Structure formats: C-alpha cells, structure tokens
A and B are shown apart, each in its own frame.
Chain A
Amino acid sequence: MEGLTIALIGAAFGFLLAALGSAIGTGIAGQAGSGVVSEDPQRFVSMLILQALPGTQGFYGFVALMFVINIVLGGGKMPTPQQGWQIVFACAPIGIVGFLSAIFQGKVCVAGCSQVAKQPGTLGSALIFAIVVETYAVLGLVSTLILLLRVQQAVQG
C-alpha cells in the first residue's frame, strides 16, 4: 500500500472515532437535556451548553484530519509507507482519547443536566465537572499535533 493511502486511512479513522464519540456523547446529553426542558422550558440554554460540550472531540478529530491532508497533499512530496504508518499512529491519540472522553463527558453532562434541573444555580459546577474530562481530549489533540509536526518535518525533508 502507498504511504498516501495509509496516511489517509489513519486520518480518517482518527476523525471517525472522535466524531463517533462526540455523536454518542451529545446524543445522550441531548436526550437528558430534552427530558429536563420537557418539564422546565426555562432550562433550555443551560441544557444546550451541556449538550454541546461532548461535541468538541469531533472538531478536534477534524483539525487532525485537516493537518494530515496538509502534510500529504500540501507539499510536493508524498509520504513513504513508513511515514504513512507514522501518521496512523500520530492520529491514534485524538481518535481513541477523543472517542472515550466524548462518551464519558456525555455521561458527566447527563448528570449535570439532572443537577441543574434540581438546582438551577449550579450550571457553573456542572460545566467544570465536564471540562475536567475535556482536558484529556485537548491533551489527545495536542499529542496528535506534536507527533504530526514531527512527521511533517520528515515528509517535507
């Protein structure tokens, strides 16, 4: 298999996993938000904020995907198969961490929805609990970008 193909498969899976995690996370948080809004429509904005949080991992995966496209198609040189595999492994942090953290963040947001439903003044603390999970998704993205920068230097020579 060519280096370009391997690299694109890696980028695609990195994005796919992170986006899938986000879809699950926002899905369950959205269901919880909808449950709360059914009884208390005034909580809509709080619920929307809590639902949106697990969606960031999908964006991180998309950033990594664009970065890989820039590496493999942005310069004149194509990656070797070895460099293609390096890109696959570089995309793993955001793919795997993004997938898992989005689901767990979704669960934290579901708990946050219930918390805000019972005590409307506690949106801030509910957000902080969810943002702690976000930290690891950010670390996953940063790791992926650092690794891709090293691969980019090797590819562009």
Chain B
Amino acid sequence: MDDLRYSYAVARINALSTKLLDRAFASRMLDAAEPSDILPMLRETAYAESLTAVDNVSQLEGGLIRELQKTHDLLGAICPDKELIGLFRKRYDFHNLKAMLKSKITGVPHADAIVDLGTYSIGELSSAVRGEAYRFVPRYISETALEALAEYRKAQALYVISYTCDRSMWRYLMQNALKHRNKIVITLFRDYINMANIKAFVRVKEFSKTPAEAFRHYFIPGGDYELDFFLPLMDEDTSLFLSRLRDGECERHIIAHGFGSWEEDESFWRLEVARDNFVLYSFHQMRGQLFSIAPLIYYLLRKEAEAKLIRTVVRCKLSGMRRAETEERLRYLYV
C-alpha cells in the first residue's frame, strides 16, 4: 500500500541523490598520486561544507562523520516515520556503548573507536559507563550495559562484551521494526542478522576449540535461520555448510562473493563487502518505490558506502597498496 506521507521526503532525497559520488569520482580518487590530493577533490562535491575544518588527511574522519551527521539529521527531520529512521542512528549508541565498556575494562582509551552519530550524548554515555550509573540513560542502553557486564563477570573474556551488545542491538532494532510493521526495514535487519550469524558460525567453526558452545553465545535470534539449523552442521566441512545456505537470493549472492576465496586467506572482509553490495543493490532496485521508506534508506546506505569508500581509498593509499587491490576492497557504487 502506498504511503503518501513520503512524497516530500522521497522527492527531496531524489533531488539530493544527484550530488552523490559516482564511479567516475571513485576512479579519480584512485588515480590521485597522494592521499592529500583527495581532499581538494572532495571539496568540489557535496562534502565541501563538512570539510571546512579539515586541513589534512588525518582530520578527514571528522569531516566524514560530520557529513553522515548531516544526512542522519536531514532524514530524521523529513522522514514521516521518525522512530523508524532513527533506528539506523541507534546502531551507533550500541557501538559506542560497546567501545566504552571495553575501554573501561581494559583501561585503554576509546577515543578512536567512538562514532559521534548516535542519538545519545557521548559525554553522558561516557560518564554513565565510567560510574556504572545507568539510572538516567535510556532503557535500551542501560539494559544492554548491565547484561554485558553481568556476562563479562561470569566469563571474564572481553569478546563477551561484543556479542552481548550486538545481540542486544539486533534484538532492539528488530523489535522496533516489527512494532512498525515495516516489511522493508524488517527484511533489511533480517538479512543483517543472517549474515552476522553466518559469519559467527564460520568463525567459531574455524577458530574455536568448542565451536558449538561458542556459537550459542554468538547466535543472534530474529533471522531466517534458527540455532537448531546451525548446531547439527557444526561438524560438517565449511564449504558443505555454505552450500546448504544457498536457498535465498541474499545468501546465494553473498556466499558466492563473500566466501568465494575463503580458502585463500580465511578473511571476512570479502563477506562484508559482499553484504554491503547486496544490501545496496537490493535498495537500488527498490528506489522506485516513491511512497515508502526505501529511497530514504537507499540514500543513507549510499552515504555510508561513500564514507567507507573514501576511508578505504585514503587508507590504501597511505599504506601504499596497489590500485587493483584497493579496487577489490571498494564498495560498489550504484548510480
């Protein structure tokens, strides 16, 4: 059913989408001789305003975050379902909480890991975590923090913080998507959960001494595959397990691209690129649904992909990586 409330927001976003970076621009960035040559290029684009305070490449991250903040602010202001679009921002609350909890336990400063894109103030969250005083923070944060700390006290292992926060985040996001009965967002979150579970499964299978026990902790409910699906497959060869998943379009694409070269380097970066590409491609197909939230999510995903693209090009150039290798790591840009 068409939701006519989206007319304004979608038209505005479609007007803005003409300013998104395209493949030609990505190619220009790749051709840049030095990482610092990328800054003047970005100043010719929609990033100009966000990069006013950026003088060199080391400050670029701040500019990218400011641009994403602008995008989230705009979408939050014009989207008729503010709570629904706000869920995409709440992911960063969970991420920041996770970084702060780990920092508190290890004593290592968390400044680099914090992303100032969440809905809750970084300063307030930081003081709540430092003092373990969660009385006045939003319930989804306090419950996650208390659960993660309780799990950590039992296991005394840092990774427990990660999986508890991730599980809590997806549970919260999925519950809210279901509350709004928005099929587009529900399907997106379900795909992310599926991929997180597949990745966790392969990781524990390959690297854990007690894979079944470890996977019980990592498993995130809410996806298409239940825990009972994974556990009996724990003793099978990884390639056999992957072939069993090839039922859905999402899995077929991601598994083919993400695990195609698994035996070469046993690394997950291809899986992450394949997942991002698939999600972008799905929303690229849905961008014509003018009376739904899909074009807004597509725009947000494109902006996030742009930030990853710029970051990847700059880092690869700084490390002296060859162009072909850099290209392989880039998120595909759909225009």
Contact A34 B8 (CB under 8 A): yes
**Contact between B7 and A39 (Cβ–Cβ < 8 Å)?**
no
Tell me, rounded to whole Å, the shortest Cβ–Cβ distance linking A113 to chain B. 5
Of the 9-residue stretches B13-21, B210-218, B321-329, which lies at the interface with chain A?
B13-21
Instruction: Report chain B residues within 8 Å CB of A38.
Output: 12, 15
Shortest distance in angstroms between B22's beta carbon and chain A's nearest beta carbon?
A: 12
Check A35/B11 contact, CB under 8 A, given A110-B290, A111-B290, A114-B290. yes
CA distance A117 to B18 in the complex (A): 8
Which of A28, A36, A107, A118 gathers most chain B CB within 10 Å?
A: A28
Question: A117: which of B2, B7, B15, B291 is its contact (CB, 8 Å)?
Answer: B15
Residue B254 lies at the interface, judged by CB distance under 8 Å to chain A: no
Residue among A24, A39, A43, A107 facing the most chain B CB atoms (10 A cut-off): A39
B15 touches A36 (CB 8 A): yes
Say how far B13's CB is from chain A's closest CB, in angstroms: 8
Q: Mark A96-121, 1 if CB is under 8 A from B, else 0.
A: 00000000000100110110011000
CA distance in complex: A113, B9 (Å): 12
Q: Which residues of chain B are within 8 angstroms of A118 by Cβ–Cβ distance?
A: 14-15, 17-18
**Assembly CA distance A35 to B4 (angstroms):** 13
What's the dominant secondary structure at chain B's contact region?
helix
Instruction: State how many angstroms separate the Cβ of B291 from the closest Cβ of chain A.
Output: 7
Contact between A31 and B18, CB atoms less than 8 A apart = no
Instruction: Write the A113-150 contact mask toward B (1 if CB under 8 angstroms, else 0).
Output: 11001100000000000000000000000000000000
Q: Is B293 an interface residue (CB 8 A)?
A: no
Residue B85 is within 8 A (CB to CB) of chain A in the complex: no
Chain A residues, CB < 8 A from B290: 32, 107, 110-111, 114
| B78 partner residues in chain A, CB cutoff 8 A | 35
Q: Shortest beta-carbon distance, B20 to chain A, in Å?
A: 11
- Return chain B residues, CB-CB under 8 Å to A28: 4, 7
Q: Which of B11, B290, B291 has the most CB of A within 10 A?
A: B11
The answer to whether A117 and B8 touch across the interface, beta carbons within 8 angstroms, is no
Interface residues contributed by chain B, number (CB under 8 Å): 18
Chain A residue nearest to B2 (CB atoms) is: A107
Are B291 and A35 in contact (CB-based, < 8 A)? Answer: no
Residue A33 CB within 8 A of the other chain? yes
Chain A residues 54 to 110 lying within 8 A of chain B, measured CB to CB, are: 107, 110
How many A-B pairs with Cβ below 8 Å?
Answer: 61
CB of A143 to closest CB in B, whole Å: 27
Q: How many Å from the CB of A109 to the closest CB on chain B?
A: 10
A157 to B290, CA, bound (A): 53
Contact status B291-A107, CB under 8 Å? yes
**B291 and A36 contacting across the interface, CB-CB below 8 Å:** no
Tell me if A39 and B2 are in contact (CB < 8 A). Answer: no
Q: Which residues of B contact A107 (CB under 8 A)?
A: 2, 290-291
Least Cβ–Cβ distance between A41 and chain B, in angstroms: 11
Q: Are B15 and A31 neighbours in the complex by a CB distance under 8 Å?
A: no
Kindly provide the distance from the CB of B17 to the nearest chain A CB, expressed in whole angstroms.
Answer: 7
**Given A107-B291, A110-B290, A36-B17 contact (CB < 8 Å):** no
CB distance from B46 to the nearest CB of A (A): 11
* B10 proximal to A (CB < 8 A): yes
User: B296 to chain A: closest CB distance in Å?
Assistant: 11
- CB contact list, B270-303 vs A, under 8 A: 288, 290-291
> Within 8 Å CB of B8, what residues of A?
31-32, 34-35
The CA-CA distance from A39 to B288 in the complex, in Å, is 19
Distance in angstroms between the alpha carbons of A5 and B16 in the assembled complex: 53
Instruction: Report the separation of the CA atoms of residues A118 and B288 in the bound assembly, to the nearest whole angstrom.
Output: 13
Q: Which residues of A contact B14 (CB under 8 A)?
A: 35-36, 113-114, 117-118
Q: Across chains A and B, which 9 residue pairs bring their CB atoms closest together, nearest first?
A: A35-B11, A35-B12, A32-B11, A39-B15, A117-B15, A114-B14, A31-B7, A31-B8, A35-B8
Provide 25 A-B residue pairs closer than 8 Å at the C-beta atoms, listed in order of the A residue. A28-B4, A28-B7, A31-B7, A32-B8, A32-B11, A33-B11, A35-B8, A35-B10, A35-B12, A35-B14, A36-B11, A36-B12, A38-B15, A39-B15, A43-B15, A107-B291, A110-B10, A110-B11, A111-B290, A113-B11, A113-B14, A114-B11, A114-B14, A117-B15, A118-B17
